[in-house]
Structure 1
């Protein structure tokens, strides 16, 4: 055996050890593989780093952005809510629905694209159902590969079709894989339901890391905003019309605070139907404006009666009772305006000043809604409270203004991660845009209008340009870099195996040794060899390597090549015991907080059972 082949196999063994050990992040292990292959002279730097320019890696990045847009616009939640209605309270029914929907979509478009679309939907669905997403994400990724329903389901299908046509045999039809896909998907559902329990048993990592800050709902609850926030509509004869907030001096007169002004401006489908502004000294009022007023109910009623205002039903939205719900907490909508806690430092120049003397609204364009001192919450007459060191102020303002508060480190510290809270607030009015982009991407992939990677890139760019994200930075944050670097790094191992002849060495050895035992043994050998090799190189590369070997093996024993080539496509697509064997497996790794050993525990039994079934089923469907 050549020295370079030995080195490659040694690197594979070391990498597998560290993946199973799990103490070092998988992307670091993959990058270490790149370094070892280059430093040992197996690959040139250009070859070692070629994975980072690979079209599959670029497509993964684009699809992470597409998935982020689906999640950020609330489209994932809308779809998941409808699926949940079908599932009812049954986890089994929910599991079957996820598998069937993913498998069906995966039969028509790229399985990588399918997982990118389904990932945010399943995450949202698990959250709504108050169940563990870990139980659904890995099976969902597997379902995208199990649904081999059509010729275009995965690249290996097209590769074996090309090998058959090149050998002078009849081309496969669009639904040639349908019987196989129905069998594999059915087997997958039956096998994965009990196996998926292994993903949530014991000390489940579902708890994740502790929260870095309070959620928006927690803040609303703690400061009792829902109990003290009222909506008031301006009537046609109100003295408010045409006047500014500063002129009216409302806080001093009535001891209430106007926080937001909302004005219906458009009913166009893809635009914000309501103009929402933070109330400031220069804010002016118009007839039918809706004011969000904070204060005691008695003060609110006096305020309403004196100024020809109307207290609005708290259950009715600006666009009517049946309007699409927005992300609210206690009647507050957080897409543009948010809340956060600010801790006063002992050195702050605000110490011993009253809240109304702090000039927070004038200087920083934020309101102080309440105050927490030790275990006491002060939400009434806040303007007259003297500030002490260590006080927590609940401030409200535009997210960009809250972010600016983090720059003032000498007087206070902004608690938690307010901008992370901002990113979690869905842009619901953009959900139709995200849905349209998703549908167009799927149609373009199905009709093969452009290469798959181009379809994904176009969809990602449209998600950003058409406002499905708050900003470009939010789009970049939706990319899972651990999975991306894992896949790109391990791609170099495939290059090394092909360059050194390690992959051919494995393939030829297995096939040549089994010819004398008949066609079933050869088919089993091809299936097993393809399956093993897909652990280390991409399924596409494996199919390219084994398709001609399988074809020649069939011809040499005078057998029908169809079952042998089908075994290559199935084995290459059904590699579940490794996170880097296929892009779908890698896509869900971080979101599900899976380790390498999780794929072995759940994926390996599935892979073995399907392999055994296929070795006996293929000769029945396609006789030797």
Structure 2
């Protein structure tokens, strides 16, 4: 049976496509921030409302959409749970498994997130895991950008495992049942075999291919950079002609130059307190201003190693060989009011003070003259035993160490922790049983956390990534314009026309690709609602299985990888990962094409088309 000719390209459709093209160019080029681009789209739709069909009320509807409100609330719920310390306990378990292995950490991220997102809506899963994965990335000295897109993608893949994995699954099940498709509405595990296949293939891709494609947009957290020591740490080589041979590091030390490490072959020693004498062939790590380092190298016959950048990873070599730590001066400390030089930390604890911080002010020059005050921070370098001895005195409190695993976690208030976790589980249960929409349930959870004292309003507002909220709210009206002008139907009709000349399996794949494309532009829910009726109609015209077409559309709507606004979890990791629009295309496009093949073949093998 021949299909009727599709809609013509009208001026209204042309204008919408022009706005889409301009938006994509701005997103890719990042000439202006992505959230500003999204707001520009919103304004453009209203300016050209005679063509787009989007008035001011419709344009602002993105700020009240379910997706926008849900993401906003999930940021706050995640912050509330994190404040209780529960997530830090899970961090320790994952860290113990991963160790210093980036590949193991990536495997744990995917292996935990995916299955969990199959039974819990993937949005709160990602909200809870973002801060944990960021912390663990810091501890493996890896950019969080290497993990956060895989975190989002793994949650999306896990959402295909069961009916309740994503709201898209639930919508597709409802729409298909309304259309009278045999086999719908879906049962809880009806498409789990296909979901397992998709998750397995996607996981292999994320573990093997994505690390090479993902950039390091955010540099790993480094205490040396945080305390303004860039350019003030250097390495020098000791040749046979150097005048330092035979001296100890303590004899070399002056107010202007502080030896930190003595590297001899495969061994590294903490310079402070060491009685080893300097030998030819040694490498010294020193703390000094660049001109001073250059001057001492010339005077003492040393050779500066300009390419050897000194980071916290090189300084923090573990127990017995040196640890970098941030400490603060607690109230009641006997050091308050003393100058750092007078506190004799090097003599008492073999600890070298590298920099100091008071509020937002950094002190990196004349550190010895800085007066210690309550709440002031110090960056020190010492042996692990020295740091432990220092902490035992109670005069300084260690807040962060590098190279010696996790500090002992703070005691958990289990009443507060139970309340926070219970609120999140309650939100999930209420949404899963359709008692309330997930956006309303999530807002109710926020109210419960604030009233219950888990999080105060100020911290709740601070927990929200507002640029993400404006980005999503700005692009949602674009979906309305594509729907109202017939632009989306124009694309769908042309796919339908092409399908008459293709094998049935290829047509299923084509609908997968169409749904995925639209999901990346106008949200998964909108794309499924738009394409599903067309797919069912096409299946009837071809005499094919409508159930197969429904599955293809459902899975494509749940796996929109190519844009940050393609799925709400993509948006949630956008800011923490420091990503650009093109990062999603680079990593997501190959995965989406791969899963188009895997999903359609899986449908053919398991159910037939």
2:423 aligns with: 437
Distance in 1, matches of 2:43 and 2:528, equals 26
- Separation in structure 1 between the aligned mates of residue 139 and residue 26 of structure 2, nearest angstrom: 36
Look up the match of 2:204.
190
* Secondary structure of the structure 2 residue equivalent to 1:588: helix
**What is the rounded CA distance, in whole Å, between the counterparts of 1:481 and 1:524 in structure 2?**
37
Taking the TM superposition and a 5 Å limit, the aligned residue runs for 1:462-541 are 462-469=448-455, 471-541=456-526
Distance 1:213 1:86 in 2: 28
- The reply on whether 1:177 has 2:191 as its aligned counterpart is yes
- Whether 1:149 aligns to 2:161 is yes
Residue aligned with 2:368, SS: strand
SS at match of 2:219: helix
Counterpart of 1:120 in structure 2 is 131
Change (3 A) 1:209 1:56: farther
Confirm whether residue 598 of structure 1 aligns to residue 606 of structure 2. Answer: no
When residues 372 and 184 of structure 1 are mapped into structure 2, their CA distance, relative to the original with a 3 A threshold, is: closer
Match of 2:366 among 357, 370, 375: 375
Per the alignment, residue 177 of structure 2 pairs with 165
Shift of 1:395: 2.8
Greater than 6 Å deviation, 4+ residue runs: 208-213
- Aligned residue for 1:306? none
| 1:468-515 superposed Cα distances (whole Å, 9 cap, x missing partner) | 33x422221110011111111110100100010100111011112212
| Cα distance between partner residues in 1 of 2:165 and 2:360 | 52
Pairing partner for 1:27 from 13, 30, 35: 35
Are the counterparts in 1 of residues 142 and 219 from structure 2 also a CA contact under 8 Å?
no
Partner residue in 2 for 1:335: none
- What displacement does 1:618 show? 1.1
Q: 1:85 to 1:572 in 2, by over 3 A?
A: same
CA offsets 1:212-258 (integer angstroms, 9 cap, x no match): 9759xxxxxx9xxxxxxxxxxxxxxxxxxxxxxxxxxxxxxxxxxxx
The CA deviation at 1:292 is 5.4
* Residues 306-325 of structure 1 aligned to structure 2 (within 5 Å): none
Q: Residue 15 of structure 1 is aligned with which of 8, 11, 23? A: 23
**1:170 Cα deviation (Å)?**
3.2
Shift of the alpha carbon at 1:451?
A: 2.2
Q: Which residue of 2 aligns with 1:559?
A: 544
Shift of 1:151: 1.0
Residues 280-333 of structure 1: CA deviation (Å, up to 9, x unaligned): xxxxxxxxxxx755489xxxxxxxxxxxxxxxxxxxxxxxxxxxxxxxxx9xxx
Shift of 1:185: 1.2
Residue pair 1:84, 1:129 contacting (<8 A) in 2 also: no
The offset of 1:531, in angstroms, is: 1.4
Shift in alpha-carbon separation, 1:209–1:31, aligned structure 2, 3 A: farther
Root-mean-square deviation (CA), in Å?
A: 3.3
Match of 1:395 in 2: 373
Distance 2:213 2:87 in 1: 23
Quote the offset at 1:131 in angstroms: 2.6
**TM-score of the superposed pair, with normalisation by structure 1:** 0.66
- Determine the structure 2 residue equivalent to 1:61: 72
TM norm structure 2: 0.67
Partner Cα separation in structure 2 for residue 572 and residue 162 of structure 1: 14
Distance 1:398 1:73 in 2: 25
**Which piece of structure 1 moves more, 600-609 or 150-159?**
150-159
Residue 340 (str. 1) matches residue 351 (str. 2):
no
Separation in structure 2 between the aligned mates of residue 31 and residue 574 of structure 1, nearest angstrom: 25
After superposition, the Cα gap between the structure-2 partners of 1:165 and 1:435, relative to the gap in structure 1 and judged at 3 Å, is: closer
How far residue 184 of structure 1 moved from its aligned partner, in angstroms, is 1.4
Deviation at 1:460, TM superposition (A): 2.1
Contact 2:161-2:189 within 8 A present in 1 as well: yes
The alpha-carbon distance between structure 1 residues 374 and 107, as it changes in their structure 2 partners (threshold 3 A), is: closer
Note closer, same or farther for the CA distance 1:204–1:480 as it changes in structure 2 (3 Å cut): closer
**Residue aligned with 1:23, SS:** coil
Given that 1:534 and 1:572 are in contact with CA atoms closer than 8 Å, whether structure 2 keeps it comes out as yes
Alpha-carbon distance in structure 1 between the residues aligned to 2:191 and 2:102: 30
Establish whether residue 38 from structure 1 lines up as the match of residue 16 from structure 2.
Answer: no
Where 1:125 maps in the other structure, the secondary structure is: helix
Report the CA distance between 1:577 and its aligned residue. 0.8
Cα gap change, 1:208 to 1:128, in 2 (>3 Å): closer
Give, in angstroms, the shift of residue 590 of structure 1: 0.2
1:47 aligns with 2:58: yes
Match of 1:583 among 564, 568, 571: 568
Structure 2 match to 1:388: none
Alpha-carbon distance in structure 1 between the residues aligned to 2:523 and 2:137: 30
**What is the CA-CA distance between 1:427 and the residue it aligns to?**
9.5
The structural deviation recorded for 1:393 is: 4.3
Q: Shift in Å at residue 121 of structure 1?
A: 2.1
In structure 1, how many angstroms separate the alpha carbons of the residues matched to 2:94 and 2:545?
Answer: 44
Name structure 2 gaps, 5 residues minimum.
Answer: 1-8, 229-257, 259-329, 338-350, 352-356, 378-399, 401-408
Q: Which residue is 1:346 aligned to?
A: none
Cα distance in structure 2, aligned partners of 1:198 and 1:465: 46
Q: Could you list the per-position Cα deviations for residues 33-56 of structure 1 after superposition, in whole angstroms to 9, with x for gaps in the alignment? A: 011111012210111111011121
The equivalent residue for 1:417 is: none
How far has the Cα of 1:204 moved from its partner?
4.6
Shift in Å, 1:616 = 1.9
The SS at the match of 1:559 is coil
Counterpart for residue 450 of structure 1: 436
Instruction: Give the secondary structure class of the aligned counterpart of 1:513.
Output: helix
